[in-house]
Structure 1
């Protein structure tokens, strides 16, 4: 095998590796332990980096969108509402267009893409999804004056939409109030967990290799 053939082989191998990395980034399996934010980020270090970037950009605590994401998709990249069936045998569509990690509906996602000029963003990409959630939390704060640390009312906005929240649509949904409370409680737990491991997560791969 001459030098040109060796170079071509290496280029093909590198291309295959890059493609595999891109594809795996879009289809990362859900974390094994979703009850511990430290374990979630230890398993997916790139998620911590993306969550930190979104937090810095939108001024929100990392724990809140992670708690909402747990509730909405259980961290599944291709999550979507279940199919509805007529008479139990004929499918006639899903309950909404919600999709991906954040369960963003198509109309809301398109609004996010337009306002942020992120036309390449994808709902099944974690970094894009958590940036979308940061944008939504920030806009909830601006439109409805809800604190970015108020998981309860932030989730009600997330579920009902900004207009629905202002109309108080959630008041007729006792089950939703319970879910919002669980989201807020989980965000507080996630936040306390992150305080204990964030310095570790901030260390680069070389320091982790050398010092554990």
Structure 2
């Protein structure tokens, strides 16, 4: 009887370890984030999620992925650093969180309009769908082409109203970042055309 209990105990330990390691692997950033084919071969479900968001919102996969790369480097739980005063933690400067670095108000708007009660910024599928929804609204509200990666990113960073006011025009660092997103989206698009998925 004691041997059976010991064997059962070991079996549970193995099962819990496997589940834990699988969870860690699924949230770990891709090994080669600069290669879209490599990302989708490593994270098989990500291509399906990205294609689903593309079908739903019309935003090219490479543009959604380039925005996510810029925002979080594909880390599921990233958030802005917390400022400290001596040894006391202060509130964060932004509520941005997860793969899309979406802030609470706009995430809540997405959940109300297009997501679901259980949508999570730590879930890749929900996050890529959020980016598709956001870029689609940028097209509707500001006339920004779904193919204009740099201007879609400027909408994403500044918000729809900020973009409309041209708040980005005096931010040379942001314009440079938007240019980087455009180049990455172009590279991703070229890679995607050659992928065998």
Does the alignment reach a TM-score above 0.5?
Answer: yes
Provide the C-alpha distance between the structure 2 equivalents of 1:116 and 1:25, rounded to a whole number of angstroms: 28
Match of 1:120 in 2: 118
TM-align CA RMSD: 2.2
Please list the CA deviations of residues 20-54 of structure 1 after superposition, one character each: whole Å capped at 9, or x if unmatched. Answer: 38x82895100011110000111000001100100
Could you tell me which runs of 5 or more consecutive residues in structure 2 were left unpaired when the two chains were aligned.
Answer: 2-7
Give the TM-score normalised by the residue count of structure 2. 0.87
- The 3-state SS of whatever aligns with 1:82 is coil
Match of 1:49 in 2: 48
Provide the C-alpha distance between the structure 2 equivalents of 1:178 and 1:82, rounded to a whole number of angstroms: 23
Q: Number of aligned pairs?
A: 185
Q: CA deviation at 1:63?
A: 0.2
Whether the 8 Å CA contact 2:115–2:126 is kept in 1: the answer is: no
Provide the C-alpha distance between the structure 1 equivalents of 2:44 and 2:152, rounded to a whole number of angstroms: 26
1:132-211 correspondence to structure 2 within 5 Å: 132-197=130-195, 200-201=196-197
Match of 2:97 in 1: 99
Provide the C-alpha distance between the structure 2 equivalents of 1:82 and 1:136, rounded to a whole number of angstroms: 24
Provide the C-alpha distance between the structure 2 equivalents of 1:72 and 1:187, rounded to a whole number of angstroms: 13
- The 3-state SS of whatever aligns with 1:83 is coil
- 4+ runs deviating over 4 angstroms: none
- The 3-state SS of whatever aligns with 1:93 is coil
Provide the C-alpha distance between the structure 2 equivalents of 1:39 and 1:117, rounded to a whole number of angstroms: 28
Match of 2:71 in 1: 72
Give the TM-score normalised by the residue count of structure 1. 0.81
Provide the C-alpha distance between the structure 1 equivalents of 2:103 and 2:25, rounded to a whole number of angstroms: 18
